[in-house]
Structures are given as structure tokens and as C-alpha cells.
Amino acid sequence: MKFAILGAGALGTILGAHLVRAGHEVTILARGQRAKVVERDGLVVHGLSELKERCRVVTDPSQLTEVDCFAVGTKAIDTLPSLRPYAHVKVGTAFSMQNGVVKDELLAEVFPSSAVLGAMADFSGELLASGEVLFTRNVGLHLGELSGEMTPRVTELARTIDAAGVRCAAHPDIKTREWSKFVAWAGLLPLAALTRLNTWRYLSDANGAWVAVRLVREVARLADALDIPLMDLSPLPAKLIAESSDDEAIKAVQDIGRRFEATAPDHRMSTLQDIDRGTPLEIDETLGFALRRGRELGLEMPTLELSYRLIKTLG
């Protein structure tokens, strides 16, 4: 298959390198110094996989005309300005691995809505200063038709990515999965940004788990107000936290923290990586979105708002 991946950060590099190794044609769409590094060194991955793969790198959008699949691996900041130069590209399918829940709508503003698939990325890594990527988690990439149908194209795409080495599966309930990750992610981002600790440290701590539970519950109320059911997925069980007692929810979060300590002690949220690099955070597109939507619906989110304002204060 012919893939184009917008962004050569951690996720774009991990997905692209595995697809190239599996024999697929991959074009990385990148800019500036990152494009030069990938052109010079290829896609280099360490950790769960050891890969060094070369592929086509495009910096001029006019050089891309048609692909079977267009994947977005950039941060959720300035998504539309990044996508619009590729509006002329004929795509079979398009999906976004970004955080947040507005990404599908943004894709549909640029490409035909019939081409857009829902996606929830639950694999992760860290772009190192060397330009190489540390692959730390490979739980999976969830794909699905936004209509809920299980079509041949989405099942075949999921099989292709899974066979390449990034765990992937197609699901009929992709909106629930996208929102379940977003609700859980909202419980992690503020703790990562404010404590600057590896993931296991703040999740296994009783105080950190207490804060995570309150953040998750506030955003879960937003999902409920929008009639979006939740489910329990990695990294945090959104449904369990929303519906169980305080003690049960805090224990569940702490148990996950201990599993991170045992299986991925070096894991850090991408937000923390951005802070270390001095790059902008995607909090307005994620936490800010939840707060704005919550206000429209008359929902109070005191823990989320306090966290959001503290992160903004820190810059």
C-alpha cells in the first residue's frame, strides 16, 4: 500500500518505519530540520523495535498527488493549516493519530468525509534529541468507520498495519474508543505537565491518583452530556473511574501506575516531552476544548479548569 504520514514525530516515525520494513511505500511529510534528519538518517527506532528504514521525504506538498492512506501524526496544534496544503491529494482513506476528539472533523474539512476513518492511538514513543525515536508502548492503534460499519477497507487497513508490527485492529465503536481515550488522557496530561514525573510516579501515588480520578470524572460527565458511552481502555479505565467508588477508582489508577513501573518505567507523556523541548503544548485543542464545550452545556469542571490555568501560567 502507499502511505503518506504527516509529521515525523514519535508516532509518525514508529508507524512509518514499521510499514517500510513490511514492504509498503511510505512518504513522510515533514518540514525544516526534522525533514533533513529523516532524509539523512532515515526513520530510526529503538526500544520495542530496532529499525532503521529509509523512505521518501516530501517538503513540498505539490509533490504528493495520490495515496492509499493518509495518516496524521502531528500535534493537535494548527491542524488545519498543516492539512490544507494537501487538499489536492487523492486519498483512499485518512485517519489522525492526534490527541483530542475534533481531529476527524478537521480531516473532513480537507478530504472527502467518506474517506475519513476514526482512530485512537494507544502506542507511544519519544523523539530523542538525536533524531531517533524510543518506542515505549505498543498497546495498539484502533481504527473504525465513523458510521460504525465494519467495511472491508478498514479491516484490511488494520490488518496491514498490524502485520507490519504496530498492533492494530478495526472496531465498530470507534467514537466510544476515541472519547474513552480522551477522557483518560485528560486525567494524565495535567499531572504530567505539573509534576514533570514519569507516568508511573504520579499514577502509583495516592495523591496523584486522587487528582487523576477527579479529572477523568469531570470530562466523563461531558461525554455523558453528549450521549457518548465510555469503555475501559488503556491507559486509564474511563468507565470504571466514572462509575465506581472513590476508593475503587483510586486503587485502579494506582494499580495501573504500578504496571507502568514494572513494564514501561521510562514512559513519559508526550506533553512532558514537549515541555522539555520547549515546544508549544496542545492544551487549548484538548483540555481547552473540553472546558469550552462544558461551559456551553452548563457543566462545571473545577479540577480541569484549575489544572488548565496552572499549565497556562507555567507557559
* CATH number, residue 60: 3.40.50.720
- Domain's final residue, options 146, 172, 198: 172
Read off the pLDDT of each residue in 215-231 and give the average, rounded to a whole number. Answer: 97
Q: Report whether pLDDT(134) > 90.
A: yes
Residues 164 and 254 in one domain: no
Residues 93 and 214 in one domain: no
* pLDDT tens profile 148-177: 999 999 999 999 999 999 999 999 999 999
pLDDT at site 276: 84
- Domain's final residue, options 172, 207, 223: 172
44 backbone dihedrals φ, ψ, rounded to 5°: -115, 125
Residues 94 and 205 in one domain: no
Q: Report whether pLDDT(280) > 90.
A: no
Total number of domains constituting the chain: 2
Q: Report whether pLDDT(194) > 90.
A: yes
Band of pLDDT at residue 7, cut at 50, 70 and 90:
very high
pTM: 0.91
Q: Report whether pLDDT(270) > 90.
A: no
Band of pLDDT at residue 286, cut at 50, 70 and 90:
very high
pLDDT at site 235: 84
Q: Report whether pLDDT(62) > 80.
A: yes
Residues 280 and 142 in one domain: no
* pLDDT tens profile 76-113: 888 999 999 999 999 999 999 999 999 999 999 999 99
* CATH number, residue 222: 1.10.1040.10
Read off the pLDDT of each residue in 267-294 and give the average, rounded to a whole number. Answer: 89
* pLDDT tens profile 11-55: 999 999 999 999 999 999 999 999 999 999 999 999 999 999 999
Residues 159 and 13 in one domain: yes
Residues 198 and 50 in one domain: no
pLDDT at site 269: 86
3-state secondary structure string across the chain = CEEEEECCCHHHHHHHHHHHHCCCEEEEECCHHHHHHHHHHCEEEEECCCEEECCEEECCHHHCCEEEEEEECCCCCCHHHHHHHHCCCEEEEEEECCCCCCHHHHHHHHCCHHHEEEEEEEEEEEECCCCCEEEEEEEEEEEEECCCCCCHHHHHHHHHHHHHCCCEEECCCHHHHHHHHHHHHHHHHHHHHHHCCCHHHHHHCHHHHHHHHHHHHHHHHHHHHCCCCCCECCCCEHHHHHHCCHHHHHHHHHHHHHHHHHHCCCCCCHHHHHHHHCCCCCCCCCHHHHHHHHHHCCCCCHHHHHHHHHHHHHC
Domain residue limits at 300? 176-314
- Domain's final residue, options 172, 188, 217: 172
